[in-house]
Structure 1
Amino acid sequence: MLIRFSVTNFKVFKDTATLSMEATKDKRLPENVFAPEGYKGNLLKLSATYGANASGKTTLFHAYQIFLNFIRVSAGHADKILLNYRPFAFGDDSARPTSFEAEFIADGIHYVYGFSYDSRSITEEHLYSYPNGKKKTVFERNGQDYVFKSDVRFRRENARRVRAVTLYVSVCAQFNDPDCIRVMNWASQNLVLVGIDTMASLDVLTNELLRDRKFGEIARRAFKIADLGITDVRDRSKSAPIKPDASGTILLPMQDIWVKHEFGGVKKEFPILDESAGTIRFLAIIGYVIEGLRRGWTVVIDEIDMSFHTDLCAWIAGLFLDPGENKKNAQLILNTHDVALLDQSILRRDQIYITSKNWKTGEAELRRLSEYGIRNDLDIRKAYLNGSLGGRPFIAPERLMEDE
């Protein structure tokens, strides 16, 4: 479960931008929060980020991607990952390191993990745990210098295996460091990203439909609820059965994925490529949504409303807010332009973020609506659309077509 995520000096974010899933003391909509094991505070089930185009929403999503990719593959492909060093470009100190930090719960233990890097190496890395609510230093790293407070001999020996361009966590998870294993498992299995590349996201739906009967039942129920006219999705590959990859995932070519429709008692099958962009997008997202709810994942979706009807966005968000549907306290973090959720009867103020860009400096800012000091009865949808909360593009009142 994610408590917060911070990024510093990355693309449009010059200073630290933090998205927190920790609930404030607001007593409204108690069903939107939960009390996790291993943490004293309450966490949010959903957060939504709004803002104009090019204001930082997708950059925040990219920050999640780079952070997770570093952890997952640093041990073997660190040199290539360092190519993703993209600091804020318009300042005098653009060469300073980029930093990521996440606070999360893994296996019931509260952790804080972060690292900094530049184009040449990992400059800093740290991991703290709070097994009994008290801070415990697992390790601190400054370049290639380490500080260990427990299991010193074991961890110092592991540190000798860590190159300047690799993360200690990624390398030492392979050598049975229990805390590093928990971080790796959390990053690999519990924080899930769904980008705008719809085709690449279909693997979860097709993979689970092929091997998990219970998932198939839920997916077919979702197709019916969403009113798509689809009754099933199946593999029509005429080639030999496709073997799972190293992770156990079955990746089907798009032309082999077909959908079943039924109207007036007549059943027909069509290639998924014949479906609308919105339908394909729904099929890509719904696999992650179902698995997230079943397993208690944190699911991060960029541009959830892309090609979507507003009612579908509201329905997916509602699944995570409904205690009956979300029994594992899964979390949904989304970027969107759909203002239907901007309603204080649906979301608390601490669940809404707005990105704004300073067009003079190029810097982006991420602010929580609860920081604005707004009234409980404010129509936040109207306030957002009229620009009172920021995040609205300024469309210049100029002529596009010059007189010829």
Structure 2
Amino acid sequence: MLVKFTVENYLSFKNRTSIDFTATSLTELRDANLYQSPLKNVTLLKSMIIYGANSNGKSNLFKAISFARKFIINSSKDSQSDEAIEVQPFCLSTETIENPSLFELVFIHDAVKYRYGFQVDETEIHKEWLYMTTKNKEQLLFERDFQDITITKKYDAASNNLTSITRKNALFISVCAQFNIPTAMAILKALSNVQYISGMQDRYTVNFTIDMMDDPTKKKYIDNFIASADLGFTETKVERFKLTEEILEKGNVPKEIRKMILESDEENVVVSTKHPIYDENNEEVDNIYFNLFVNESLGTGKYVALSGPIIDTLMNGKTLIIDEFDAQLHPHLSKAIVELFNSKENNPHGAQLIFASHNPALINPKRKLFRRDQIIITEKDQFGVTNMESLYDKKIRKDASFEKDYLEGKYSGIPDIKIDDDFRLFDE
């Protein structure tokens, strides 16, 4: 479970900026939108929505989380030994361009709270640290200053042998996990439960959902999810096949291309949706299957593609980050997905959803979807620096009209459009 993420000097985040899933003292929607973690004093938000104009930094936040996660998991691999670290500091200021970027994650795993972070530039790790909290007391496990790594008695003793073989461009936690140090392995497992996907039907999301459909139990959950959306079908079918010489020849595929396709030996997949056929009396007499990504709408295809990651997240208590979440989705479908996460019955394991949106209707107070500490506004200042605040941080009243006030610019985070009566696109 993600508790807090902090980034500094990365992309548009010049200053230290955090998102915090720790619930504040607000009284609204406590039963539905909060999850009591295994730690008695830590109550977490189940969902978080991020608003802001285009290019204000919403996607950069997700990129920061994705970079930190991938770097932690992969930095010790041999394939990374000679590669530059793909980190980009805030480049619009002479103060930061030569400084390292900072990333820190606070999370709970197996009823233990960890705080792990590092500072890094394109060539090496500057600092790295790991703390754990037991009985409300935070204790240092290890810390690093360039290649000087200090391990305390609270950390696994076997890791002492790994300090000398840790490369300057590899994280010590990643090296420890590679050599089966239990604490490090637990931390990487926890971070692997933080998933980032694009909401624009990227291939990974589609393939993930298709793979889940191979499991009958998971497919049943996916079909239940689809059936609840009233898309005109209630069932899907996955067919896998390989193209043969005969099929390609019948399709008049040129010989050279046929050879390339056959040598690749790739498996092809078709996802179909089941629709009823009716007679003149509107009685169901048969069924027909449509190709999901040919015959159905883009919104329908996206909803089905998202179903796999959403079901997986809810089943396993993971954290799901979706950029462009509600693009191509009807507002009622977006609302229904949020309600799945803000639900005791459908989200018993404290799964978390964080997403970017341009749909202000989702924060209409009448919908009762979000608390003020779940609504984040991003804004980029005149110097290109992204800042983030929740409506709770902005001290917005409980009875305020969030949707209306946001559109009127009272919370910032909307584009300052220059097109007015005097605007001329072309010279006269």
TM-score by length of 2: 0.87
Measured at CA, do residues 403 and 92 of structure 1 come closer, stay the same or move farther in structure 2, by a change above 3 Å?
closer
- Distance in 1 of aligned mates of 2:300 and 2:307: 10
Q: Give 1:290 deviation, angstroms.
A: 0.8
Q: For the residues of structure 2 that align with 1:276 and 1:162, how far apart are their CA atoms? A: 50
Q: Could you say which residue in structure 1 is the equivalent of 2:425?
A: 401
Contact persistence 1:10–1:88 (CA under 8 A): yes
Structure-to-structure mapping, 1:280-359, within 5 angstroms: 280-344=301-365, 345-358=368-381
Find 2:272's aligned residue among 259, 266, 280.
259
Give per-residue Cα distances to partners, 1:48-72, cap 9 Å, x unaligned.
1111000000010111110111012
Residues 1:137 and 2:110 aligned together: no
> Paired residue for 1:112?
115
Does residue 173 of the first structure (1) align with residue 193 of the second (2)? no
Report if aligned partners of 1:220, 1:231 keep a CA contact under 8 Å in 2: yes
Structure 1: which amino acid aligns with 2:274?
H
* CA contact 2:241–2:268 (8 Å) conserved in 1: no
In 2, the alpha carbon distance for the partners of 1:197 and 1:121 equals: 34
Residues 183 and 152 of structure 1: is their aligned pair in 2 closer, same or farther, counting only changes over 3 Å? closer
CA distance 1:322–1:171, shift in 2 (3 Å): same
Structure 1 residue 148 and structure 2 residue 168: aligned?
no
- DSSP 3-state at the match of 2:392: helix
Aligned CA-pair RMSD: 2.0
Q: What is the deviation of 1:79?
A: 5.1
- 2:289 corresponding residue in structure 1: 269
Q: What is the 5 A alignment of 1:164-243?
A: 164-188=168-192, 190-198=193-201, 199-210=203-214, 212-239=215-242
Partner of 2:412: 390
CA distance in 2: counterparts of 1:36 and 1:299, whole angstroms: 17
**1:35 correspondence with 2:36:** yes
Q: Is this contact kept in 1: 2:9–2:100, CA < 8 A?
A: yes
Sequence identity percentage: 30
Q: Which residue is 2:2 aligned to?
A: 2
In structure 1, how many angstroms separate the alpha carbons of the residues matched to 2:229 and 2:156?
55
Change (3 A) 1:374 1:156: same
Alignment partner, residue 50 of structure 2: 49
Q: CA deviation at 1:223?
A: 1.2
**Residues 182-210 of structure 1: per-residue CA shift (max 9 Å, x gap):** 1110112x211121451221122111110
Q: Is the 8 A contact 1:255 1:271 kept in 2?
A: no
Corresponding letter in the other structure for 1:268: I
CA distance in 2, matches of 1:196, 1:390: 24
- Distance in 2 (CA, whole Å) between partners of 1:374 and 1:29 is 16
Contact 1:99 1:116 (8 Å CA) reproduced: yes
The one-letter amino acid paired with 2:86 is: N
Q: For 1:136, what is the secondary structure of its paired residue?
A: strand
Letter in 1 for 2:12: V
What per-residue deviation string (whole Å, max 9, x for no partner) do you get for residues 141-197 of structure 1? Answer: 110001111157522211122100001111111222221111110112x21112145
Match of 1:86 among 72, 75, 88: 88
Paired amino acid for 1:43: L
Moved more, 302-311 or 39-48: 39-48
**Contact 1:5-1:100 at 8 Å conserved across structures:** yes
> d(CA) in 2 for partners of 1:220 and 1:237?
19
**Partner secondary structure for residue 230 of structure 2:** coil
TM-score by length of structure 1 reads 0.92
Judge conservation of contact 2:22–2:44 (CA < 8 Å) in 1. yes
| Residue pair 2:177, 2:185 contacting (<8 A) in 1 also | yes
Cα offsets for 1:206-258 (capped at 9, x unmatched): 11110x22211111111111112233333322229xxxxxxxxxxx9896222
Asked if 2 retains the 8 angstrom alpha-carbon contact of 1:192 and 1:300, the reply is: yes
Contact 1:23 1:42 in 2 (8 A): yes
Instruction: Specify the SS of the correspondent of 2:275.
Output: strand
The number of residue pairs the alignment matches comes to 390
Kept in 2, the 8 Å contact 1:10–1:63? The answer is: yes
**8 A contact 2:273–2:292 mirrored in 1:** no
Change (3 A) 1:254 1:374: farther
Inter-partner Cα distance in structure 1 for 2:83 and 2:9 = 16
Q: How many Å separate the matches in 2 of 1:306 and 1:130?
A: 40
* Equivalent residue runs for 1:364-379 within 5 Å: 364-379=386-401
Per mean C-alpha deviation after superposition, the further-off stretch among 331-340 and 381-390 is: 331-340
Q: Which amino acid aligns with 2:93?
A: G
Q: Does the CA-based 8 Å contact 1:38-1:108 persist in structure 2?
A: yes
Output the amino acid matched with 2:388. L
Letter in 1 for 2:334: C
- Aligned residue in 1 for 2:62: 61
Is the 8 Å Cα contact of residues 7 and 13 (structure 2) preserved in structure 1?
yes
Aligned mates of 1:391, 1:85 — CA distance in 2: 26
Q: Distance in 1 between matches of 2:27 and 2:338?
A: 20
CA distance in 2, matches of 1:58, 1:38: 31
